[in-house]
């Protein structure tokens, strides 16, 4: 493993770049700012290492970034309508940083914080910890969080979350890495193929958050039950596609029991790199980078554009605080929140 300097924030705080590697040469680099994935190098069909995630060369760019590249998201990921919710008759106000909605925790989400880190060399892991005080982002309860990233010897990237609060609070964390299995600098992802184990999705309104309806993917462009190219229907004449300018939808994952299972796959025919997604969560936001600004300057001289990467954000359903029929991750005092997601890489 390696620890390197990663530049400074505007207040002169120094950030670090932490790198771990498994026996196959798969390399994961992360920064303690936002507990964010900076680089993930995996072998292609010719044994060449390919960096498959979008990111930046220095921490200053993560500080000003609006895309949440590689970031750890919390306290509640995705959107909360009206930037408010009620627990036990008490209303809590949040940051309205996405129109009238709260997105990914607000203006100062966990992806905009310095995290403490511990390198666990014998486990090929990096553990990040953060203390989120009571009323942080507007949420009740002081929360202590540990997020652990590790590589196994089968080229799996494991992300494990643990949090505990001193008061009742909603928690719904996720990771916001943008993948491009041809390489982070290889442009549009329309030719890559995806399969999603989800017969339903949560329908969105004009503001791209759920309207409460759970809808079948059958006969819609959101159907990924069979593997096909992302670009096949990404510009379909369909109101759900038009509202998000592509895919930015929560999929209702099949066979949810709280246990980890295979929920999706991605594949790039050009490199032969495949990825399997495993999680114990009920939902997953499939987002195709529709709002990445054209000309975004990324790492190693790359220039990113709209739809240059895609996210698989494993999660509870967005805006679950407002819908009793959505899985709602509400944790009472001293009740532990735990979840896990695995991104496993293959070649063929």
C-alpha closest to that of 36 among 68, 4, 64, 61:
68
Determine the distance from the C-alpha atom of residue 20 to the mean position of all C-alpha atoms in its chain, rounded to a whole number.
Answer: 20
C-alpha closest to that of 20 among 123, 128, 129, 174:
123
Token pair 């010897």 is at which residue? 153
From CA 326, how far away is CA 316, in angstroms rounded?
8
- DSSP summary character for residue 122: G
Point out the catalytic residue in the list 176, 193, 203, 249.
176
Cα angle 332, 162, 114; round to 5: 110
C-alpha closest to that of 63 among 98, 13, 100, 19:
13
- Is 176 among the residues known to form the active site? yes
Phi-psi region of 287 (alpha: psi -120 to 50; beta: other; left: phi over 0): beta
- Is 313 among the residues known to form the active site? yes
Determine the distance from the C-alpha atom of residue 219 to the mean position of all C-alpha atoms in its chain, rounded to a whole number.
Answer: 27
Q: Please write down the HEC assignment for all residues of 67-96.
A: CCCCEEECCECCEEHHHEEEECCEEEECCC
From CA 245, how far away is CA 44, in angstroms rounded?
31
CB atoms within 10 A of CB 176: 24
From CA 18, how far away is CA 82, in angstroms rounded?
38
Which residues are catalytically annotated?
Answer: 176, 313
């Amino acid at each position: 493993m390696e620890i390197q300097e990663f530049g400074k924030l505007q207040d002169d705080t120094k950030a670090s770049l932490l790198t771990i590697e498994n026996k196959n040469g798969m390399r994961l680099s992360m920064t303690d700012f936002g507990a964010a994935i900076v680089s993930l190098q995996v072998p292609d069909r010719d044994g060449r290492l390919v960096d498959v995630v979008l990111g930046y060369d220095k921490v200053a760019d993560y500080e000003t970034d609006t895309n949440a590249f590689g970031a750890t998201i919390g306290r509640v990921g995705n959107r909360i309508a009206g930037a408010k919710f009620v627990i036990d008759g008490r209303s809590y106000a949040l940051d309205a940083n996405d129109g009238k909605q709260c997105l990914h925790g607000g203006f100062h989400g966990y992806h905009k914080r310095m995290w403490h880190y511990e390198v666990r060399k014998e486990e090929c892991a990096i553990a990040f910890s953060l203390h989120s005080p009571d009323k942080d982002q507007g949420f009740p309860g002081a929360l202590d969080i540990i997020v652990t990233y590790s590589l196994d010897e089968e080229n799996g990237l494991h992300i494990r979350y643990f949090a505990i609060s001193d008061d009742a609070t909603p928690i719904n964390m996720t990771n916001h890495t943008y993948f491009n299995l041809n390489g982070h600098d290889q442009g549009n992802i329309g030719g890559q193929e995806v399969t999603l184990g989800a017969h339903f999705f949560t329908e969105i309104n004009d503001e791209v958050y759920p309207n409460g309806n759970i809808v079948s993917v059958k006969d819609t462009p959101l159907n990924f039950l069979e593997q096909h190219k992302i670009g096949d229907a990404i510009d379909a004449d369909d109101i759900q596609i038009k509202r998000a300018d592509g895919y930015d939808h929560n999929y209702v994952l099949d066979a949810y029991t709280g246990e980890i299972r295979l929920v999706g796959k991605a594949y790039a025919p050009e490199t032969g790199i495949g990825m399997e997604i495993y999680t114990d969560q009920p939902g997953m936001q499939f987002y195709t980078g529709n709002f990445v600004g054209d000309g975004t300057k990324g790492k190693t001289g790359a220039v990113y554009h709209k739809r240059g990467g895609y996210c698989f954000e494993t999660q509870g359903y967005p805006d679950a605080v407002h819908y009793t029929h959505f899985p709602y991750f509400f944790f009472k005092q001293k009740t532990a929140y735990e979840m896990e997601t695995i991104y496993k890489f293959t070649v063929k």
